[in-house]
Amino acid sequence: DVKVTQSSRYLVKRTGEKVFLECVQDMDHENMFWYRQDPGLGLRLIYFSYDVKMKEKGDIPEGYSVSREKKERFSLILESASTNQTSMYLCASSKIRDTNTEAFFGQGTRLTVV
Amino acid sequence: GENVEQHPSTLSVQEGDSAVIKCTYSDSASNYFPWYKQELGKRPQLIIDIRSNVGEKKDQRIAVTLNKTAKHFSLHITETQPEDSAVYFCAARSLYNFNKFYFGSGTKLNVKP
DSSP secondary structure, B45-94, as one string: EEEEEEETT-SEEEETTEEEEEETTTTEEEEEE-S--GGG-EEEEEEEEE
User: How close A57 comes to chain B (CA, Å)?
Assistant: 11
**What's the CA gap between B49 and B65, in Å, rounded?**
10
Q: What is the largest CA-CA distance in chain B?
A: 44
What would the mean pLDDT of A68-79 be, rounded to a whole number?
96
| A·B CB contacts under 8 A | 60
pLDDT at residue B101, as a whole number: 87
pLDDT at residue B106, as a whole number: 95
pLDDT at residue B52, as a whole number: 82
> Please, what is the average pLDDT of chain B?
93
Low-confidence winner among A79-88, B67-76, B97-106 (lowest mean pLDDT)? B97-106
Written as one letter, the residue type at A26 is D
What would the mean pLDDT of A22-34 be, rounded to a whole number?
94
Q: Give B90's pLDDT tier (boundaries 50, 70, 90).
A: very high
pLDDT at residue B96, as a whole number: 73
Q: Is A108 on the interface with B (CB under 8 A)?
A: yes
pLDDT at residue A1, as a whole number: 66
CB contact under 8 A, A99 and B45: no
User: How close B4 comes to chain A (CA, Å)?
Assistant: 11
DSSP secondary structure, A59-113, as one string: S--TTEEEEEEETTEEEEEESS--GGG-EEEEEEEE-SS-TT---EE---EEEEE
Q: Is B95 on the interface with A (CB under 8 A)?
A: yes
Residues in chain A: 114
User: How close B8 comes to chain A (CA, Å)?
Assistant: 11
Q: Give A85's pLDDT tier (boundaries 50, 70, 90).
A: very high
CB contact under 8 A, A102 and B46: yes
